[in-house]
Amino acid sequence: MEPFIVAGVRLGVARAGIKYPDRRDLVVIEVAAGTQAAAVFTQNAFCAAPVIVARAHLAVTAPRYLVINTGNANAGTGVQGLTDAEATCRALAKQTGCRSEEVLPFSTGVIGEPLPVERLVAGLPAALASLQAEGWTEAAHGIMTTDTWPKWASQRLMLNGREVTVTGIAKGAGMICPNMATMLAFVATDAAVDQALLQHILNAAVADSFNAITVDGDTSTNDALVLLATGQSGATVPTQGEDYACFSAAVRAVCIELAQAIIRDGEGATKFITVQVEGGRDSAECRQVAYTIAHSPLVKTAFFAADPNWGRILAAVGRAGLTDLDLERVSIHLDEICIVCTGGRAPDYTEAQGQQVMARPDITIRVELGRGAATARIWTTDFSFDYVRINAEYRT
């Protein structure tokens, strides 16, 4: 299904040759005057120059344009990186007649190399000339790096008798453990939403989506997610009630679909793995256990090999750092198969059962801690030969 058009948003793409010739690597997003914006960014201390600039610009005013380049992260580039990010904003502002603070820059690609500003700026006229409301699909292609396919999601709903659209695009396949959002994601709606409320809705959606995924445990320097509300539909989102709940659910659904797409397209991934931890004292310790399992190279390689080496999962639960864990209360399932109970291997479990589950493309690891009512769920991948190859050859 093609992404739904969002009134008040146009997207354009160009081939600027930032890293590779003849590759879509520059995207401009234009939003209508009066659009409200909310955003979350990486918590990596070495955050990229465009993250610093985008944060600063959002603190001053709402955006009219977003500019995204691939092939170069403009991270680890010091003062020059900030200068280059600001120069990009000024160049786009000059060509569109807006203020430079009304431009938000975003970059993704190799860390530590100077941004080729001249090539980026030279590509802006072509990106602006291609602006169109139907440009979501092209833009999804234009923000890809090691992704193998473009990622978009859309929802429609009725608010106050008016049709409202929520559409988003995202990129990401490796260096995924966002701790905020994802590599890059841009979501827009034609509903009218107060900025503070928009930020609240985004934060809640991120907690259940982009902050619940991991490929490899690495948080990027460039992670950014922006939610834009143009108000062009004429429908206003209230601060509570059924319409608020419906709109929040639509944003959450788009974010979850995009986040899951990133995991399914994880570098070299052959398995989509849900880690569900139940019975914790609080959600924080459930997430602690879930991420310990998901980040274990031994667990991830076992899933790639379809090897039911359940001891690796058991060991991950045991080293997650929970105090006073009662092993007699812990149980572990692979899909419908119980592999661990009362502190050891389940009496009815067989290796053949485990292997049958491990061969599936979608698998759920469910851990019951037996110490409370809290739960947490995250999504991850296996580690394959291709994950190593892709990352070993990334700069070549």
Q: What is the pLDDT along the chain (396 residues), one digit of tens a residue?
A: 899 999 999 999 999 999 999 999 999 999 999 999 999 999 888 999 999 999 999 999 999 999 999 999 999 999 999 999 999 999 999 999 999 999 999 999 989 999 999 999 999 999 999 999 999 999 999 999 889 999 999 999 999 999 999 999 999 888 778 887 667 999 999 999 999 999 999 999 999 999 999 988 888 889 999 999 999 999 999 999 999 999 999 999 999 999 999 999 988 899 999 999 999 999 999 999 999 999 999 999 999 999 999 999 999 999 999 999 999 999 999 999 999 999 899 999 999 999 999 999 999 999 999 999 999 999 999 999 988 888 888 776
Q: Which amino acid, residue 164?
A: V
- E strand or H helix at 51, and its extent? helix 49-60
Burial class of residue 326 in the structure, from the number of CB atoms within 10 Å of its CB (0-12 exposed, 13-18 middle, 19+ buried): exposed
Could you give the residue range(s) of every CATH 3.60.70.12 domain in the chain?
9-264
Contact 44, 208 (CB under 8 A): no
Provide the pLDDT for residue 35: 98
Provide the pLDDT for residue 179: 81
What one-character DSSP code corresponds to residue 110?
B
The CA-based diameter of the chain, rounded to the nearest angstrom, is: 72
Contact 208, 252 (CB under 8 A): yes
Q: Rounding to the nearest 10 degrees, give the CA dihedral for residues 371, 365, 284, 250.
A: -120
Sheet architecture: strand order including 151-159: 36-41, 224-229, 184-189, 162-171, 151-159
Q: Which amino acid, residue 33?
A: A
Contact 368, 279 (CB under 8 A): yes
How far is the C-alpha of 26 from the C-alpha of 351, rounded, in Å?
Answer: 50
Provide the pLDDT for residue 34: 97
Architecture of the domain spanning 9-264: 4-Layer Sandwich (3.60)
313 token code pair: 């999962």
Q: Which residues contact 78 (CB under 8 A, 6 or more apart)?
A: none
How far is the C-alpha of 34 from the C-alpha of 29, rounded, in Å?
Answer: 15
Q: What is the pTM of this model?
A: 0.94
Provide the pLDDT for residue 181: 63
Could you give the residue range(s) of every CATH 3.10.20.340 domain in the chain?
272-392
Provide the pLDDT for residue 270: 94
Which residues belong to the active site? 182
Domain 272-392 superfamily per CATH? ArgJ beta chain, C-terminal domain (3.10.20.340)
Question: CA angle at residue 314 from 281 to 330, to 5 degrees?
Answer: 40
Provide the pLDDT for residue 175: 78
Strands 344-345 and 162-171: unpaired
Buried b (16+ CB within 10 A) or exposed e, 215-239: bbeebbbbbbbbbbbbbbbebbbee
Within 61-131, residue ranges assigned H as helices are 78-96, 117-129
Three-class secondary structure of residue 283 per DSSP: helix
